[in-house]
A and B are shown apart, each in its own frame.
Chain A
Amino acid sequence: MNAPDNVSRRALLTGGLATGLLLAFHLPLRADPNEPVQKDVTDGKFAPNAFIRIDATGRTVLMMPQVEMGQGVYTSISMILAEELDADWDKVEVQHAPPNDKFYANPVFGLQATGGSTSIRAWWMPLRKAGATARAMLIQAAASQWGVDAASCTASKGEVAHAASGRKLGYGELALAAQSQTPPKDVAIKDPKNFVLIGQPLKRLDTPDKVNGKALYGIDAILPDMKIAVIANCPVFGGKVGKVDDSAATKIAGVRKVVVLDDAVAVIGDHMWAAKKGLDAVKIEWNEGPNAKISTKDIWQDLRAASEKDGAVAKSTGDIAKALASGDKFEAAYEMPFLAHASMEPVNATVRVTKDSCEIWTGTQIMTRVQSEAAKAAGVAVDKVIVNQHLLGGGFGRKLEPDMVVAAVRIAKQVDYPVKVIWTREEDIQHDVYRPVYRDQITASLVDGKVAAWKYKVAGSAVIARWLPPAFQKGIDIDAIDAAVDAPYDFANFHVEYVRVEPPAVPTGFWRGVGPNNNVFAIECAMDELARKAGKDPVEFRRSMLTKNPRALAVLNLVAEKSGWGQPLPPRVGRGVCLQPSFASFLATVVEAEIDDSGEIALRRVTSVVDTGIAVNPDTVKAQIEGGLVFGLTAALYGEITIDNGRVQQSNFHDYRMMRINETPKIEVTVVKSGESPGGIGEAGVNAGPPALRNAIYAATGVVLRRLPIDRKLLAVGKKA
């Protein structure tokens, strides 16, 4: 079901773009010494490609084309490179790659972006080849020094050895000689059975500095003469600044300057407290503009109406019209709210602008776009913009957008010192780029206890059309239908449509779990309702339609066993299952939940089994599923952004709630052994939580929930949905 190496998402193939995007990428075998971003780091070192630097002491620096936002990718990418390089793992250091699409573009997107659970899938083969190429050149260097055949030499832990003569040379000693070797044309990569690092639960490289306050996130940047700014964006989407009275603000000690932009006001101070107090003291009249009356109530009304229209057909097999005309018919619509990202590190950027340059300190998921957008805002050439990448205190898709950097550039342009622009949590939540509202309709028919026809229509915003325009073709958002077209079951008559519906003025973007969030929820809720209609157990019902999908069947069977599926439970306690093939990984999850008489929900236990192909670092895979489940369950229990009078109504963690440790159940994740190419893992767990919990509630109470977040009022004893 996947393209070679799982690089191209099925959806990209559907869009007819994968080939072009993939061809746009090539692995640079040797860094061009004239390339400015490369020169200073390659001098006097073995630099066989854009990813590996070995100096004469054997110090091995690996350049990270993907950003670290908690998903463990600095470690996993290093493991892939070090495996094929046969580096000494204890000597490996990582450094963030500079913005450069030529060297570091993510092969899936054609730009240097981290998202969509693509890092390992996209870089698996390119990085293995990069590591193997370097190893081959080091071996050649040693062989020629010893006057022996390279084939008689081996490499291990940062050394080349010639067994016949007992000679050994470290990579540091070989670095200069290796630099002048010709890279092999078709380099051999390892047979996975010979992996020594890949597949091991190695300790993460980034965590030791995260227990003692040393790790630097974007918000921790400190520069000489730097000041701090706090921003107030117009509270109404698309509104502008009207009148500003800053007379009280400028009297506050520590306030340096009030900056008035066309759509925002910022106060710069000696420290955050002065800036914040200053901003509180500025009297701003906003020109609210045409969106002053928009509300989620109206947005939902429009979405419901628009979703009734026929959509663009993303996939169709069999004869859907004929198949739907017979059998036992089922129809349902599932609705998902706007969501904010709320990464723990609030949105921020530090910028210094001069007449002809711009320097940025931030943690971003999209380095080259930050660079090009900052250049436009600063009015300088792209190559005059330096981006200093930092660790991200969570990304979740929010930092796939450059808006916070652009805002900081516009503020920093007004002063002659560097400014760190920090968004308060309130600004962060009220001026996010939101996970769109979706309405997913499923029409199906049952014949002999199985699904004979499945028609699935997704309606919602096309994030792809804005974020990666070339990938938006034939009216289909390939992300919004990603898991819809990949439903794992044997549906002979299968039809998927997409209706693009853009909410007025509300910016929409990627949110951890991306398109499959809406798809997996709708599919897995519908499957439970269909199972009940067919009079079958939900696991048994799914099993009967997995004859062509052995990997999906295997994780489902194992999760049933590990979760105690089918064993008796007390009243108002239920188990719910979710099965999904998404991001080229297979995940089966069972949530066990108890619903008290008032409708309050207690999570008792979560069990997941994942087949992600070769797990580069199985402990990281486990951690990503654990965390993803909490992220998704948080959304199911609490997540909803609402809008009234053009304004977001939530503002901080008291009204945009997160799950806490006291609400977190035991979570057991099993990573199955597999020899398949690695799948994506950062988002899969997010998709699993909401449908599995909803199905547990369905089992416990019989209440049919078709809308997120879960409405407790419908679950109180005596209520019917």
Chain B
Amino acid sequence: MIMVARNLADPIIVSDPANQGMHMATTLTINGETKSFDAPPDMPLLWVLRDILGMTGTKFGCGIAQCGACTVHVDGKAVRSCVLPVSAVANRAVTTIEHVGSTPSGAKVQKAWLDAEVIQCGYCQSGQIMSAAALLAATPNPDDADIDAAMAGNICRCGTYVRIREAIKLAATGRQS
């Protein structure tokens, strides 16, 4: 155990919603819970999650949908939250890394990630896991081409790609490739 992790039960402190001139009340379903807050309609979902709701598991990497660190699920599909205006996901189901373990494919991916010891710095891995979980939910037994197509949008600067490939196969089949 490392003492540099957030207890998810801790109260989340968010900035006070002053200065609301251009903001609008928004309601989202995030991880099965209804969340209401004020945000500008063009604000990307990433910053709603991180800076308004205090859910920091979803990461900022590039801001232009090039690296995949910000990947979340919207209605089960992997999307880049850094370029997704919050107004586009109103009343749709958003799942983040904090909750993906409650889905069957997410739980399998998390376990395989630890069994294959994929992770190094870990910063991109929230996004990698979200992309992999969406892949397995849609394609339970992916081949290398399926993995390339689903995962090529996620950059890992530590270079864990070999183990990501191995872990996806492990999650799919329950055995080492």
Interface residue ranges, A against B (CB under 8 Å): 68-72, 74, 93-96, 203-217, 219-220, 222-228, 252-256, 270-274, 342-346, 389-396, 422, 424-425, 619, 623, 626-631, 634, 652-654, 658-662, 664, 666-667
Within 8 Å by CB of B120, from A627, A658, A659, A662, lies A627
Q: A210-B119, A227-B15, A626-B163 are in contact. List 10 more A-B contacts (CB 8 A).
A: A69-B121, A96-B3, A210-B122, A217-B123, A271-B50, A273-B42, A394-B121, A623-B163, A660-B155, A662-B151
Q: How far is the CA of A93 from the CA of B2 in the complex (A)?
A: 6
Binary contact track B11-25/A, C-beta < 8 Å → 1, others 0: 011011111111100
Q: Which residues of B contact A206 (CB under 8 A)?
A: 2, 119, 122
Evaluate contact between A342 and B157: CB separation under 8 angstroms.
yes
Q: Which residues of B contact A227 (CB under 8 A)?
A: 15
Q: How far is the CA of A96 from the CA of B2 in the complex (A)?
A: 9
Evaluate contact between B44 and A273: CB separation under 8 angstroms.
yes
Q: Which residues of B contact A631 (CB under 8 A)?
A: 157-159
In chain A, what residue has the closest Cβ to B50? A272
A-B complex: 10 closest residue pairs judged by Cβ atoms: A213-B57, A630-B159, A393-B123, A70-B121, A210-B122, A70-B120, A271-B51, A627-B159, A220-B56, A662-B148
Q: How far is the CA of A32 from the CA of B4 in the complex (A)?
A: 26
Within 8 Å by CB of B158, from A70, A96, A204, A217, lies A70
Q: Closest CB of chain B to A84's CB: distance in Å?
A: 21
Evaluate contact between A394 and B44: CB separation under 8 angstroms.
no
Evaluate contact between A273 and B51: CB separation under 8 angstroms.
yes
Q: Which residues of B contact A94 (CB under 8 A)?
A: 1-3
B152 within 8 A of A: yes
Evaluate contact between B3 and A95: CB separation under 8 angstroms.
yes
Interface pairs (8), CB distance under 8 Å: A207-B119, A211-B129, A212-B110, A214-B7, A219-B59, A270-B51, A424-B63, A425-B63
Max chain A Cβ within 10 angstroms of own Cβ: one of B5, B43, B122: B122
Q: Which residues 138-170 in B have Cβ within 8 Å of A in the complex?
A: 147-149, 151-165
A interface secondary structure, majority:
loop
Q: Which residues of B contact A215 (CB under 8 A)?
A: 2, 4-5, 122
Interface residue ranges, B against A (CB under 8 Å): 1-8, 12-13, 15-23, 39-40, 42-44, 47, 50-52, 54-64, 66-67, 69, 96-98, 100-101, 110, 113-114, 117, 119-126, 129, 147-149, 151-165
Evaluate contact between A93 and B101: CB separation under 8 angstroms.
no
Q: Which residues of B contact A346 (CB under 8 A)?
A: 60-61
Evaluate contact between A205 and B2: CB separation under 8 angstroms.
yes
Within 8 Å by CB of A214, from B57, B62, B123, B124, lies B57
Evaluate contact between A228 and B51: CB separation under 8 angstroms.
yes
Max chain A Cβ within 10 angstroms of own Cβ: one of B12, B18, B120, B159: B159
Q: Which residues of A contact B13 (CB under 8 A)?
A: 222-224, 226
Q: How far is the CA of A659 from the CA of B3 in the complex (A)?
A: 32
Q: How far is the CA of A105 from the CA of B40 in the complex (A)?
A: 47
In chain A, what residue has the closest Cβ to B101? A212
In chain A, what residue has the closest Cβ to B21? A253
Q: Which residues of B contact A623 (CB under 8 A)?
A: 117, 120, 160, 163
**Given A216-B4, A223-B13, A653-B67, does the pair A661, B165 have CB atoms closer than 8 Å?**
yes
Q: Which residues of B contact A630 (CB under 8 A)?
A: 156, 158-159, 161
In chain B, what residue has the closest Cβ to A254? B19
Q: Closest CB of chain B to A196's CB: distance in Å?
A: 20
Q: Closest CB of chain A to B157's CB: distance in Å?
A: 5
Q: Which residues of A contact B165 (CB under 8 A)?
A: 661, 664
Evaluate contact between B96 and A344: CB separation under 8 angstroms.
no
Q: How far is the CA of A68 from the CA of B50 in the complex (A)?
A: 23
Q: Which residues of A contact B66 (CB under 8 A)?
A: 652-654
Evaluate contact between A212 and B162: CB separation under 8 angstroms.
no
Evaluate contact between A652 and B6: CB separation under 8 angstroms.
no
Q: Which residues of B contact A254 (CB under 8 A)?
A: 19, 23, 40
Max chain A Cβ within 10 angstroms of own Cβ: one of B17, B152, B164: B152
Q: Which residues of A contact B51 (CB under 8 A)?
A: 228, 270-273
Q: How far is the CA of A342 from the CA of B15 in the complex (A)?
A: 29
In chain A, what residue has the closest Cβ to B55? A213
Evaluate contact between B3 and A662: CB separation under 8 angstroms.
no
Q: Closest CB of chain B to A577's CB: distance in Å?
A: 20
Within 8 Å by CB of A219, from B47, B60, B113, lies B60
Within 8 Å by CB of A344, from B1, B98, B124, lies B124
